[in-house]
């Protein structure tokens, strides 16, 4: 049924309207609780799944619990599609931006621009005793993320910010660090979870990215772009630096395969402060790399492909957004 609906423009427009209609009440309901209700829900699901596997191992109860399991699975799938899944089929933002040719020269030019921006903004943020960027006022970052949602250009953005803060640290932080997952949106509770143990360079932009999902942008590359718009002109220097640094890293990543010499030259031009931040990120990744990272990278790739995205490579589409947005 949902596969058929996804092919009908009127249906996808309806679900986009429905999300816009209900999101304030959805977010307001779960903002009352200070911890992640969605994570508790997932824990209960995991426990229930274990109990389900245990019960179907007994032949005399197998049929009954298989039927109950299928019913529960269908209800969850219905809830997911109605509250979130159909948003993957709404009109892409890229269709609303002007056409521009994406050239290597333009990507290099922007890389130099964001290198200088990062150098300048990095001098305005705080450091820990190792000389690494550190966040000192997380609530003010969350507040500006919400306030900047209303500043997104309205000529192609039809989403309205709710002003409701449901940006919460995940209860799965110890596991998340080993998966490569920075944050995620819970469609059942409209909460945006993030890994608070990440290096500070990651956290502010992750909050902006997840808040874009709360606005109603389901596709990852679109959430990156909206997160960029939220953080690019922020007054909060932590949010601005994290956003600019994300852009710089993404530009370098897009050039890494074919322009290795240029990429290395740019990294050598990092300020001493930026080099310390880069080293802190590398040490964090090295400490937490392993099988979980590979497994979740594979499953995330499958999830993206199942939702009208081109797998993990879609993160490179952020470059298309960035260049086509530039005046």
On whether the CB atoms of residues 311 and 304 are closer than 8 A, the answer is yes
* 131 and 251 share one domain: yes
* 31 and 170 share one domain: no
On whether the CB atoms of residues 203 and 215 are closer than 8 A, the answer is no
**pLDDT value for 296:** 41
Q: Collect the ranges in the chain with pLDDT lower than 70.
A: 59, 290-316, 327
Q: Is the sign of the CA dihedral 276, 282, 285, 286 positive or negative?
A: negative
* Number of domains within the chain: 2
Measured in residues, the chain has a length of: 327
Task: For residue 252, give the H/E element and its range.
Answer: helix 237-255
Domain housing 84 = 2-89
* 81 and 190 share one domain: no
* 269 and 297 share one domain: yes
* 101 and 84 share one domain: no
User: 89, 118, 142 — which closes off a domain?
Assistant: 89
User: 29, 54, 89 — which closes off a domain?
Assistant: 89
**pLDDT value for 327:** 60
* 163 and 263 share one domain: yes
Nearest to 242 by CA among 264, 274, 212: 274
DSSP lists the bridge partners of residue 192 as 167, 185
The phi, psi pair for 172, rounded to 5°, reads -100, 20
Long-range interactions of 151-156: CB distance < 8 A, separation 24+: 151/229, 151/230, 151/233, 152/226, 152/229, 152/230, 153/229, 155/96, 156/93, 156/96, 156/97
* 100 and 130 share one domain: yes
Could you tell me which residues come within 8 angstroms of residue 75 by beta carbon, excluding any fewer than 6 positions away?
none
Could you tell me which residues come within 8 angstroms of residue 308 by beta carbon, excluding any fewer than 6 positions away?
88, 89, 219
* 63 and 133 share one domain: no
Task: For residue 5, give the H/E element and its range.
Answer: helix 2-6
Q: Helices 237-255 and 260-268, interaxial angle, to 10°? A: 150
Count CB-CB contacts under 10 A for residue 243: 26
pTM (2 d.p.): 0.89
* 70 and 102 share one domain: no
Look up tokens 């050239």; give the residue: 103
Nearest to 239 by CA among 132, 124, 112, 119: 124
DSSP lists the bridge partners of residue 183 as 194
* 84 and 111 share one domain: no
* 238 and 298 share one domain: yes
């Amino acid at each position: 049924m949902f596969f058929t609906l996804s092919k009908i423009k009127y249906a996808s427009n309806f679900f986009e309207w429905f999300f816009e209609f209900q999101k304030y009440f959805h977010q307001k309901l779960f903002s009352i609780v200070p911890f992640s209700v969605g994570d508790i829900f997932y824990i209960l699901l995991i426990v229930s799944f274990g109990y389900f596997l245990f019960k179907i191992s007994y032949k005399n109860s197998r049929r009954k619990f298989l039927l109950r399991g299928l019913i529960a699975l269908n209800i969850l799938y219905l809830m997911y599609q109605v509250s979130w899944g159909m948003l993957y089929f709404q009109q892409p933002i890229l269709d609303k931006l002007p056409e521009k040719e994406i050239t290597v020269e333009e990507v290099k030019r922007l890389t130099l621009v964001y290198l200088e921006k990062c150098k300048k903004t990095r001098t305005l943020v705080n450091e820990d005793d190792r000389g690494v960027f550190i966040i000192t006022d997380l609530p003010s970052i969350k507040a500006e993320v919400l306030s900047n949602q209303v500043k997104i250009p309205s000529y192609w953005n039809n989403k309205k910010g709710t002003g409701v803060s449901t940006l919460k640290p995940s209860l799965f932080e110890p596991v998340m660090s080993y998966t490569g997952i920075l944050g995620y949106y819970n469609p059942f509770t409209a909460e945006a979870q993030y890994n608070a143990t990440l290096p500070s360079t990651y956290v502010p932009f992750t909050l902006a990215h997840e808040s874009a999902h709360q606005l109603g942008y389901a596709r990852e590359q679109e959430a990156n772009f909206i997160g960029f718009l939220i953080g690019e002109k922020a007054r909060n220097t932590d949010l601005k630096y994290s956003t600019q640094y994300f852009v710089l890293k993404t530009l370098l990543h897009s050039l890494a395969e074919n322009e290795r010499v240029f990429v290395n030259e740019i990294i050598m031009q990092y300020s001493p402060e930026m080099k310390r931040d880069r080293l802190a990120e590398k040490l964090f990744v090295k400490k937490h790399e392993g099988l979980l990272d590979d497994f979740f990278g594979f499953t995330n790739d499958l999830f993206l492909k199942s939702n009208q995205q081109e797998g993990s490579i879609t993160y490179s589409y952020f470059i298309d957004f960035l260049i086509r947005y530039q005046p």
